[in-house]
Amino acid sequence: MLLSARGLRKTYREGDRKLAVLTGVDLDISDGEQVALIGRSGSGKSTLLNLLGGIDRPDSGEISIRGTAFSRYGEPQRTLFRRRQVGFIYQAFNLIPTLTALENVALPLELNGTPGEQAESQALLLLERIGLADRAQAFPDRISGGEQQRVAIARALAHQPVLVLADEPTGNLDARTGRQVLDLLAELFTDRGNGLLIVTHSLEVAHRADRVLTLVDGRLEERVEGLAW
């Protein structure tokens, strides 16, 4: 099993009261599986992604990737584990504005110890793969939203993570560009065989996945009918 999560609970404090966001989430993702996560706004989808990616820790429960229960780790260990094993794609792209497209894609490789020239060489190959080699030296504010998201996908996959977490990756794109980005993600994903969990409000996006899960009342359910956001 690529990812296994059991009994995840997460509560936040709002003033004098506690808000239970996740109340016992169980989730398995197999090697090569693409899973879509949908749910109403505020249902805890991004919270769950942050837990699965090691950005935050659950109040209780355990998360394992390839048998390593990294949710037990302290923050420094989780950071190192996340850098090696997890790739993130965000709605707002989250490219570093002071780095070129090439430098953005090379960054996760360098953080994992790949020497600079080798990292940039590998990053350039990825940019060629996504049709943006001619934009390698461009800064994020000089390329379109669709191009930024393609660079973000290349960055998320550069270090060959076993798990990719995508949070509304087409949310800031028009429908046509969004489909192109999803086609690219599917193509690159198929080649690498890692696991993908994609958070989305779009049923069109969700139905591209192998499995669709809905976050309802802090728990996951395998149903999509009757939902409105």
Exposed/middle/buried for residue 144 (C-beta within 10 Å: 0-12, 13-18, 19+): exposed
Mean pLDDT of 203-208: 86
CA dihedral 186, 220, 175, 196 (to 10 degrees): -20
Matching residue, tokens 């990616």: 53
Q: How is residue 11 written in tokens?
A: 């509560």
Task: Give me the pLDDT at residue 193, please.
Answer: 67
182/123 Cα distance (integer angstroms): 20
CB count within 10 Å of CB 66 equals 13
Angle between helices 101-111 and 116-129 (to 10 degrees): 130
Query: Domains of the chain: which residue ranges?
Result: 33-57+75-221
If you average pLDDT over residues 204-218, what whole number do you get?
A: 91
pLDDT tens profile 46-90: 999 999 999 999 999 999 999 999 998 999 999 999 999 999 999
Dihedrals φ, ψ of 160, to 5°?
A: 55, 60
Q: What is the pLDDT of residue 228?
A: 38
Predicted confidence (pLDDT) at residue 203 exceeds the cutoff of 90: no
Name, in order, each residue with C-beta under 8 angstroms of 16's C-beta and a sequence gap of 6 or more. none
In this prediction, residue 191 has a pLDDT band, given cuts at 50, 70 and 90, of low
Extract the tokens encoding 106: 């090379």
pLDDT band at 226 (very low <50, low <70, confident <90, very high): very low
The answer to whether residues 93 and 140 touch, using CB atoms and an 8 Å cutoff, is: yes
For residue 103, name the pLDDT band (cuts at 50, 70, 90).
Answer: very high
- Average pLDDT, integer, range 198-227: 84
Does 105 score more than 80 pLDDT?
yes
Query: Looking at residue 60, what is its pLDDT?
Result: 97
pLDDT category, 14, cuts 50, 70, 90?
A: confident
- pLDDT top residue among 18 and 27: 27
Q: Which structure tokens are listed for 165?
A: 């977490």
**Integer Cα distance of 57 and 78 in angstroms:** 9
pLDDT in tens, 109-162: 999 999 999 999 999 999 999 999 999 999 999 999 999 999 999 999 999 999
Mean pLDDT, all residues of the chain:
92
Domain 33-57+75-221 belongs to what architecture?
A: 3-Layer(aba) Sandwich (3.40)
Query: What's the sign of the alpha-carbon dihedral 186, 187, 188, 193?
Result: positive
